[in-house]
Structure 1
């Protein structure tokens, strides 16, 4: 079961919280299990060296992994959906499958999407469309390559069912996805406990998060523990919001039940990458008022963080929480500078904020796509193209003098950037839907990973 370099280290911890946090459920019995994506590089990092049969057994039939969780656990949570509180949600088509350590000693979790009905499915079928699974793989691969703290798509199996959906041509093909994540505790997990005024379990969940998700020792003072956790979540979510902007990414549904307290991005639905630096660009067709538009994502995440503060106010002093909330914008601005300069590939130094401002003004010209600008100017090089003749780019070039860092990876000498705009995503899906041709999908994953390799190899110093 273990890989030659990383041992398999099962470490189920969730039972310490008790059944107030989950329900035991069964996985669906699918008529087929056809592997469409297996993340073998991350499997190696968590010590899972599996043959074809084992992949199917554990990630389509969902047989328990050795010495791991014996039951499948649908987690309980509430949340604000487009700012409307919903107490009737929870894991409606997924469950926690396993907990284990990675090659850095971190506790990670394997959770499912599309694995069948649960007590929280309401009137839904508990399934995932194959297109939805393909889109999630593409999103997570691209975001990981761009340095965003994201869940990893671990396995995608086509499951041989015909599904009816109102937002896709139907019947459509079915799938089940397993994600590898840094926990599945959402802001909505705390909201559910606050809804029931369950202060004791809020305290228990705070301790669990500190010890298992942030690897910190929880002290004897529950109030201090809660404030410490809130500070950690504030820092992590500020970095998350900044990384979305630097990546040109629009999550689409930043509801409080979709915000992980680790600040890890996850649970991808109607996501898109915006071609241009357009603050009003939206991903979800149902986001009629642009609540989660590209430029409003920091505001949305800060609003969700405020909901967590309201929950923790049951167990700690409100002024301390308010101070952390008030300081979030400064943390976000610092994180945005860091994220932009990291993607640009230049080292930190004096005048970073001014350089980041010049870069944003250049992106805002929309003289080229976000991906093209970062590609052409990577390492602080001035491409000298007529495309970049406007005043904002001349100012950017001036700010970059003395910051140049030659890039060594062959990717940077290619004809152009690897992008994941909606036209490319739809073309990949059309090949699958029309001809069952998976080559464009596989080629895209390979191209994205090549870009990620280049980003990592030529990353600037912190």
Structure 2
């Protein structure tokens, strides 16, 4: 589950140029009045060979966007379309970000460095192309927590304050500005395929399918490469949906332009973690119908895969695409059981026993009003006989747990504490208030340390 990154050398590549010129547009970064480093992700910098950059070099590359050696000489704002709350929008693309660089990581995976808040592009529409500092801080917190909980997520790589004042409708303004760099295993979105299908560009669609299989899925091939890609994407998206649920995470904006072909979670706007196992909990105030509520996220991701299948019909018959789509539900159930057992610290007993145990756990959390983080913390490894609830739901779950074997020791110091790590909205706001009111970054830095300690405990045997 999202193993700790290892040291690697810097190995630049420029694979995206295989798809030029139709995949994106060359752009220039904004010229910021200031570049104040607020966060650098040294452990992931080591994984892509960039830990050697000193302070001025870091600011030069990730605040002023001087090209990295041997890399893209000009950033690319990628083109895509997307269903936004299930309404098709052909007027979008990278409006405040761009692909800045590509390289290999410690697993020899192709990785992209992309930006958020780096200035206007041809796809900015009426936007200013900027990012609020609060938005950047929230993305740090989301990605750190999700990584610790075993969710495949982009990594917040750098956050630099830029010295501008921004006006926003959804937070007190004027507010401080920033530019963020994220490290992702691809920036190719479902919406990228949708745009190509909209334009009926068969040649580019075939090139993009082959690019994706070559760079993200080991160069596999089949009679229908598009169906193979959809099948691989369905496998990864099923894992993502399951990991969201076990983490208690609500992304908030699961549009097709926010779906990565590798199944990696990214682009965190109105995200939240739900305090309780509440299927109707939503993250975005504007999601009034609950389309992307906690409990509907697997459905939303499956629907998005269906739109990817529609796009791939440009070069592939329907039958193998339908077959790939139909794999999502069983793959999701398998992934949910695997991830639930992993976080609980027990060995899986098989799909049907695990599903029964998970149903009992959900009932216990709902009926006994137990928070998700508290539940997993208390029951880690199943060694909690002194904490067995006397409710019917609690008794039922305890009976299930007696049949499971622990797969993780409670020896790590994290389990000796009295409180689990969480990332609920009140704590997020407290961390931001310290920054906004007093320019105090200590709470953020401490939270990152605490979350990483939890991640190490979850990875330990």
One fold, TM greater than 0.5?
yes
1:100-111 to 2 correspondence within 5 Å? 100-111=103-114
Q: Residue by residue, what CA displacement relative to the aligned partner does 1:137-178 show, whole Å, maximum 9, x if unpaired?
A: 000000000000000000000100000000010000000000
Q: CA deviation at 1:313?
A: 1.0
The answer to whether 1:228 aligns with 2:232 is no
Q: CA deviation at 1:5?
A: 4.5
> Corresponding residue for 2:83?
80
Given the superposition, is the C-alpha separation of residues 4 and 203 from structure 1 closer, same or farther in structure 2, using an over 3 Å criterion?
Answer: closer
> Corresponding residue for 2:71?
68
Instruction: For structure 1, list consecutive stretches of 5 or more residues without a partner in the other structure.
Output: none
Q: CA deviation at 1:364?
A: 2.5
For 1:183 and 1:327, the matched residues in 2 are separated by: 23
For 2:386 and 2:287, the matched residues in 1 are separated by: 39
Number of residues paired by the alignment?
452
Q: CA deviation at 1:217?
A: 3.7
> What is the root-mean-square deviation of aligned Cα atoms in Å?
1.4
SS in 2 for 1:19: coil
Q: CA deviation at 1:375?
A: 0.2
Q: CA deviation at 1:356?
A: 2.2
Instruction: For structure 2, list consecutive stretches of 5 or more residues without a partner in the other structure.
Output: none
> Corresponding residue for 1:272?
272
SS in 2 for 1:20: coil
Conservation of the 8 A alpha-carbon contact between 1:226 and 1:315: yes
> Corresponding residue for 1:391?
392
Conservation of the 8 A alpha-carbon contact between 1:25 and 1:118: yes
> Corresponding residue for 1:312?
312
TM-score normalized by the length of structure 1: 0.96
> Corresponding residue for 1:369?
371
> Corresponding residue for 1:120?
123
Structure 1, 352-361 or 24-33: larger mean CA deviation: 352-361
SS in 2 for 1:337: helix
For 1:383 and 1:106, the matched residues in 2 are separated by: 44
For 1:403 and 1:36, the matched residues in 2 are separated by: 45
The answer to whether 1:418 aligns with 2:421 is yes
> Corresponding residue for 1:450?
453
Q: Residue by residue, what CA displacement relative to the aligned partner does 1:25-75 show, whole Å, maximum 9, x if unpaired?
A: 000010111111100000001111211011101111111110011110000
> Corresponding residue for 1:212?
215
Q: CA deviation at 1:113?
A: 0.2
For 1:232 and 1:201, the matched residues in 2 are separated by: 20
The answer to whether 1:57 aligns with 2:65 is no
Q: CA deviation at 1:327?
A: 2.5
TM-score normalized by the length of structure 2: 0.96
Q: CA deviation at 1:331?
A: 1.1
Conservation of the 8 A alpha-carbon contact between 1:31 and 1:161: yes
For 1:45 and 1:312, the matched residues in 2 are separated by: 34
For 2:304 and 2:244, the matched residues in 1 are separated by: 16
The answer to whether 1:186 aligns with 2:189 is yes
Structure 1 residue ranges, 4+ long, deviating more than 6 angstroms after superposition: none
Conservation of the 8 A alpha-carbon contact between 1:377 and 1:383: no
Conservation of the 8 A alpha-carbon contact between 2:221 and 2:228: no
Q: CA deviation at 1:366?
A: 4.8
Conservation of the 8 A alpha-carbon contact between 2:159 and 2:180: yes
For 2:296 and 2:432, the matched residues in 1 are separated by: 29
Q: Residue by residue, what CA displacement relative to the aligned partner does 1:198-221 show, whole Å, maximum 9, x if unpaired?
A: 1111111000000012222446x5
For 2:178 and 2:331, the matched residues in 1 are separated by: 39
1:235-274 to 2 correspondence within 5 Å? 235-274=235-274
